[in-house]
Amino acid sequence: MNKNNYALIMAGGIGSRFWPVSRTEFPKQFIDFFGVGKTLIQSTYDRFLQICPAENIFVITNEIYTDLVREQLPALKDNQILAEPIMRNTAPCIAYGSMKIAEINPEAVIVVAPSDHTIANQPAFLKAIEQSMNAASGSNTLITLGIKPNRPDTGYGYIQYVDDTLENDTEIHKVKIFTEKPNLELAKSFIQSGDFLWNAGIFIWSAQAVINAFEKHLPDMFDIFRNGKPHYNTLKEREFIAQAYQLCTNISIDFAIMEKAENVYVLPADFGWSDLGTWASIYEMAEKDYVGNAVMPSEHVMMYNSANCMVNVPKDKLVILQGLHDYIVVESNNTLLICPRAEEQNVKNIVADVKTKFGGKFN
């Protein structure tokens, strides 16, 4: 195993689209949605154990979740848990993590990945990551993984690539453009063109390459975190970060750097990826009965003349559904949600309305 391989797992989100199961105090990355005996963050950590030495895996999360991270990933040392004092999107957390890792090992090659994705084909995933890390080693290249699309999904960002490739890996293509979530007609045209991929939000680069990118494209943020150089991996790190984050813009790495940099490449890949962004993604991955119902758990759920429903309820509760088609039914934390599957994108707005009306009681 290469001692220069590092992983930075991003685990600070609140997963509001999975409400009411995912709550602010216990978000989706800490939940075992599929009953496999591992939460999403535990599965992510275990994947990277096959690529990076255990001491080279870092988790960056909101400071309110550090105890959950310690509980679910007890092998992590305190120095491997990076606590964000406030939410500031992905650019600040990547700047922080990359500069901290660079102080430990200037030769580091880092894979940055969310904590809440699922991967069906583990060997193919590991191959893609290792291939990208080898290509990024010692180079000033920013690499992202692009998923070969199988449908015109409007919920994902897209990456268009060209024929130009890296000299040391002809499977890794130069990126032409990033496009945020398109409408259906545009998504269909992307699929037909054959040169668009889903943006998986998984990045691979050398520590120095991404630091160079921050210096060029986001110099203010570069200066903020460069000032932490004497403090990283010391007892003063947390105090410095608490001050630094107050100065940071709320901005994503995609918008801040990936869409602007000229040295961005993509590896087309296919490893059964899902970002688990909505209840629909859980429905797509779950086992279903002969009429398309996905019920988790199923011991005490009885369904009559009902089809294509996503049902997630407490295992000890008796639930009877009759005449329900294409619905999401979820109960958790003293909250019941019943919503047409076609309107599930409204869940985030519902959560905001609930917070406005009841404060944080149900959030």
pTM, 2 dp: 0.91
pLDDT at 225 over 90: yes
pLDDT digits (tens, 9 = 90+) for 335-356: 999 999 888 878 888 888 988 9
d(CA 219, CA 204) in angstroms, rounded, equals 21
Whether the predicted pLDDT of 328 surpasses 90: yes
pLDDT confidence of 326, banded at 50, 70, 90? very high
Checking if the pLDDT of 112 tops 90, the result is yes
Q: What is the mean pLDDT of residues 79-103?
A: 96
Q: Which residues contact 235 (CB under 8 A, 6 or more apart)?
A: none
Indicate the SS3 state at residue 200.
strand
What pLDDT band is residue 309 in, cutting at 50, 70 and 90? very high
Spatial separation of the C-alpha atoms in residues 157 and 255, rounded to whole Å: 12
Q: 173 is written with which tokens?
A: 């293509």
- The confidence score (pLDDT) of residue 333 equals 84
DSSP 257: I
Interval 97-107: pLDDT, tens: 999 999 999 99
| Cα Rg, the chain, nearest whole Å | 21
Which residues, other chains included, contact 40 with Cβ-Cβ below 8 Å and sequence gap of 6+?
Answer: 28, 29, 30, 31, 32, 33, 115, 116, 117, 118, 276
In 3D space, the residue among 177, 199, 338 whose CA is nearest the CA of residue 260 turns out to be: 177
pLDDT in tens, 249-289: 999 999 999 999 999 999 999 998 888 777 888 888 888 99
